[in-house]
Chain A
């Protein structure tokens, strides 16, 4: 089985722009979660989607949003980028039958200038 894939792998944006990151889960997995990793804050949970519905949300401002499509692929959007949004964004998928392990993709490294 192919693993979780994320595109693009690297991205450079300027302040004020918006960005969309994409995540394709492992085949058969219906839950997709997003995490932000920064040197200062570590790994933080952004949100989780299952069957196109957001089920959990972390403590991030409304500039961070996401969605999930019927094929379980997910996108994450950050509007009005700030310098502090520079981070590694990791996507994870699980089959979510209740207590399933999350498997992570390689991440998208975003640099905001």
Chain B
């Protein structure tokens, strides 16, 4: 069965600190996608990144970077030099080929609080 675990419920950092959000997933599919979404207080889920199971190349986008390791079934997200605007709940999600990739299974989310 598919499952996404975000063990960190809440993380508090001071502005300019680096922070890593952990995500561990379980799936029996060999073809799947992993996602990170950000949910600010307004409630809308904002797409950040998508990774397919065949692409383990790490990615950097500005202050954001993602580390995908199939060997440990992890897809971790690092924010460098955090800012107050990064405060939000971050969700890791998984979709599988057998459901046509349209059913997202979400982790429980990690609330990030960045204080000035």
Contact = CB atoms under 8 A, between A and B. Distances in A.
Contacts of A31: 102
Q: Is the interface of A mostly helix, strand, loop or mixed?
A: strand
A42 B42 CA distance: 16
Contacts of A96: 100, 102
Given A43-B91, A56-B99, A102 B104 contact: yes
Contacts, number: 62
B43 A107 contact: yes
Contacts of A101: 35, 47, 50
Given A42-B109, A101-B50, A104-B37, A48 B43 contact: no
A99 B46 CA distance: 18
Contact of B100 (A35, A56, A88, A105): A56
A110 to B, nearest CB: 12
Given A43-B91, A104-B37, A106-B42, A55 B47 contact: no
A88 B43 contact: yes
A24 B100 CA distance: 21
Assign chain A's interface to a size class: 20 to 34
A100 B105 CA distance: 15
Contacts of B106: 42-44
B33 A35 contact: no
Interface residues of B, number: 24
A45 B104 contact: yes
Contacts of B37: 104
B102 A48 contact: yes
Interface in A55-113: 55-56, 58, 88, 90, 92, 94, 96, 98-107, 109
A58 B102 CA distance: 11
Interface string B81-116: 000000000010100000111111111110000000
Interface of A: 31, 33, 35, 42-45, 48, 50, 55-56, 58, 88, 90, 92, 94, 96, 98-107, 109
